[in-house]
Structure 1
Amino acid sequence: MLAQRVATALVLLALWLPTLWMTSAWPFMLLTLLLVSLAAWEWGRLN
């Protein structure tokens, strides 16, 4: 279970970090919105 979480975190960081250095803020904002939305959806399914 821990290995799966670490692998997921590494994949998400590989997608998210490059958006920090893009010239426009839109890719960062959209990807962050997507990740927060997915996290909220998963959290909602737990409760």
Structure 2
Amino acid sequence: MARMIKKANLPSKICAACGLPFAWRKKWARDWDQVRYCSDRCRSGKVKPG
């Protein structure tokens, strides 16, 4: 059985576009250092910082 990691123990960052915090995701495991945005919407620049 796999060990469960609680979401509170995952690393997090602040989105460069919207300023909201977002947590680590398994799909970002290889390039977590380069991840700057919480979503594709923020990455495309359609969200205004606020």
Give the TM interval when normalised to the shorter protein. under 0.3
TM-score by length of 2: 0.21
Of Structure 1 and Structure 2, which has the larger fraction of its residues in helix?
Answer: 1
**What TM-score, normalized by structure 1, do the two folds share?**
0.22
Structure number with greater CO (CA < 8 Å, separation at least 6) is: 2
